[in-house]
Amino acid sequence: MIIAVPVDEKNIKSRVCVSFGRTPYFLIYDTDSKEDKILDNSAAASAGGAGIKAAQLIADNKANILLTPRLGEKAADVLKAAKIAIYKTTNASAKENIDAFIAGKLSLLDEIHKGFHGHGG
């Protein structure tokens, strides 16, 4: 299973980024090999639709699970179509959130915020 997490810094101990579409990096963690890698989020600099582009990026990287504190509705549409499940992070680090998810302690993200005239994400 492959887990994606928006992160502020380029390592697994980083804090989870508050924004999905505008996060500088994504941490991609493979639960089978226990390996992780960092992706630059090319969507971060977009004028609009950043969430859509970021969702495309993690779908292209074959993620099955996304851990994020919040998410825009357009990004959610893409992720839903890509059959990626979305869970809500806590204030802890990316690593601690991944562990909590594996232990079944995170809940599904059920609150999706409306985009800001398409400039959100």
Partner 1 sequence: MRIAVLSGKGGTGKTMVSVNLSAATKKSTYIDCDVEEPNGHLFFKPVGINEEEVSVLIPEVDKEFCNGCKKCVDFCKFNALAYVKDSLIIFEDICHSCGGCVLLCPEKALTEKEKVIGMVQKGMSDQVEVFTGILNPGEPSGVPIINRLLDENKSENKPGNKSESEQMTFIDCPPGSACIVMESIKDADYCILVAEPTLFGVYNLNMVYELVTLFNKPVGVVLNKCLEGENPAEKFCLEKGINVLTRIPFDKELGLLNSNAEIAVRKSEKYRTIFTSLLDTVKKEVHHETAFNS
Binding test (CB under 8 A) with partner 1, winner from 44, 52, 66, 98: 52
Please state at what angle helix 50-60 crosses helix 73-81, rounded to 10 degrees.
20
Write the binding mask 60 to 79 for partner 1: x where contact by CB under 8 A, - elsewhere: --------------x--xx-
Count of residues that bind partner 1 according to CB under 8 A: 19
The CA distance from 97 to 41, in Å, is 20
Strand order in the sheet with 65-68: 35-40, 25-30, 2-7, 65-68, 85-88
Can you tell me which of 82, 85, 102, 112 binds partner 1, judged by CB under 8 A? 82
Interface contacts to partner 1, rule CB under 8 A: 43, 46-50, 52-53, 55-56, 59, 74, 77-78, 81-83, 117-118
